[in-house]
């Protein structure tokens, strides 16, 4: 059996389920704990990437409150129906797709999460994470020099949280270098570190700092 025939059989199998391939994809998106690429979703469902991407766009529109209806025989084109948006949305973050609660309801969701179930990062951890994000790959010694304090315990915490990871060793000193992870991108809601906000608007008098940080990444 050819690959095309296998994919066609996979799609036919999904369409035989309640809700078809669209519902099958939705079920997968509801259980994944990290963003999945179109290729990964297609492989898991045994369909083509093109099919998955069409379904993803369809679900994204529906969750945002817009659905596309099939045209009537006398109609020209498609009719777009507007409904109330869902409490969740489908985002393409950190190179993959995942369902998230809608940002409009962040305060409500935050109140629902019981205190103690999630531990917020300390100010020291946030500052260390910011240095690593803008200077990566960077060693602990360099981060300590920038912050003026020892960051060993903070780096361990950030590593345990999955926000940073080992990025190899410095060719000159042999020190371990650190970089941010895909989980960091996911939590920030961005696709790459290039989307991090520029620093200069927040630090008057340091107009050249963005170029400095950009050069340090090279």
The structural domains of the chain, ordered by start, are 3-112 (1.10.10.10), 123-217 (1.10.10.10)
pTM of the full structure: 0.53
N- to C-terminal Cα separation, the chain: 48
Question: Residues near 49 by Cβ (< 8 Å), separated by ≥ 6?
Answer: 38, 39, 42
The answer to whether the beta carbons of residues 90 and 41 sit under 8 Å apart is no
Q: Is the pLDDT higher at 25 or at 9?
A: 25
Q: What is the DSSP letter of 119?
A: -
Task: Provide the 8-state DSSP code for 193.
Answer: G
**C-beta of residue 90 within 8 angstroms of C-beta of residue 99:** yes
11 vs 77: which has the higher pLDDT: 11
Closest CA to 1 of 12, 210, 161, 192: 12
Q: Is 138 helix (H, G, I), strand (E, B) or coil?
A: strand
Could you tell me which residue, 189 or 2, shows the higher pLDDT?
189
The residue with greater pLDDT, 72 or 206, is 72
User: From CA 67, how far away is CA 61, in angstroms rounded?
Assistant: 6
- pLDDT confidence of 116, banded at 50, 70, 90? very low
Residue 170 pLDDT exceeds 50: yes
């Amino acid at each position: 059996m050819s690959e095309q025939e296998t994919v066609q059989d996979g799609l036919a199998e999904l369409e035989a389920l309640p809700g078809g391939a669209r519902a099958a994809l939705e079920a997968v998106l509801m259980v994944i704990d990290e963003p999945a690429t179109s290729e990964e979703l297609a492989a898991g469902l045994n369909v083509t990437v093109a099919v998955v991407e069409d379904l993803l766009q369809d679900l994204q529109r529906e969750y945002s409150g817009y659905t596309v209806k099939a045209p009537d025989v006398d109609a020209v084109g498609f009719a777009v129906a507007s409904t109330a948006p869902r409490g969740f949305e489908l985002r393409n973050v950190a190179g993959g797709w995942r369902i998230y609660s809608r940002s409009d309801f962040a305060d409500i969701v935050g109140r629902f999460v019981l205190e103690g179930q999630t531990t917020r990062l300390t100010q020291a951890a946030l500052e260390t994470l910011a240095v690593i994000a803008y200077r990566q790959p960077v060693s602990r010694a360099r981060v300590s020099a920038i912050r003026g304090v020892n960051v060993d315990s903070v780096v361990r915490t950030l590593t345990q949280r999955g926000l940073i990871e080992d990025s190899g060793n410095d060719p000159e000193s042999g020190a371990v270098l650190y970089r941010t992870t895909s989980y960091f991108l996911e939590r920030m809601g961005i696709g790459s570190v290039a989307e991090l906000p520029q620093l200069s608007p927040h630090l008057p008098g340091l107009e050249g700092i963005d170029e400095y940080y950009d050069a340090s990444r090279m």
